[in-house]
Amino acid sequence: MLHARRMTPPMPWLTAFEAVARHGSVTAAAQELDLTQGAVSRQIRKLEEQTGVDLFRRERKRLFLTPQGAVYAEEIRYSISRIAKATVALRAGPGGGVLNLAILPAFGAHWLAPRLPAFLKAHPGITVNLTTRADPFEFSREELHGAIHFGQAPWPGTEGVKLWDEEILAVTAPELAAPSARDLAGQPRLALQSRPDAWAAWFSACGEAAPGGEAMIVDQFATLVQATRAGLGAALVPRYLIAAELSQGSLVAVKSARPISIGAYFLVWPEGGGDLPALRALKDWLASQPAPAP
Which of 44-58, 86-100, 129-143, 249-263 is predicted most confidently? 44-58
pLDDT digits (tens, 9 = 90+) for 109-124: 889 999 999 999 998 8
**DSSP letters spanning 138-185:** -GGGS--SEEEEEESSPPTTEEEEEEEEEEEEEEE-GGG--SSHHHHT
Burial 178-196 (b: 16+ CB within 10 A, else e): beebeebbeeebbbbebbe
User: Where residue 294 falls among pLDDT bands split at 50, 70, 90?
Assistant: low
Above pLDDT 90, what percent of the chain? 50
Residue 26 to residue 29: CA distance in whole angstroms: 5
Which of 44-48, 137-141, 255-259 is predicted most confidently? 44-48
Q: What is the pLDDT of residue 96?
A: 61
Assign domain 96-294 one CATH number from 1.20.1260.10, 3.40.50.720, 3.40.190.290, 1.25.50.10: 3.40.190.290
Q: What is the pLDDT of residue 1?
A: 40
User: Where residue 256 falls among pLDDT bands split at 50, 70, 90?
Assistant: confident
3: pLDDT strictly greater than 70: no
Indicate the pTM of the whole model: 0.66
Q: What is the pLDDT of residue 185?
A: 84
Q: What is the pLDDT of residue 6?
A: 66
Residue 9 to residue 245: CA distance in whole angstroms: 58
User: Where residue 91 falls among pLDDT bands split at 50, 70, 90?
Assistant: low
Sorted by where each begins, the domain ranges of the chain are: 2-92, 96-294
176: pLDDT strictly greater than 60: yes
Q: What is the pLDDT of residue 191?
A: 92
Which CATH code for domain 2-92? 1.10.10.10
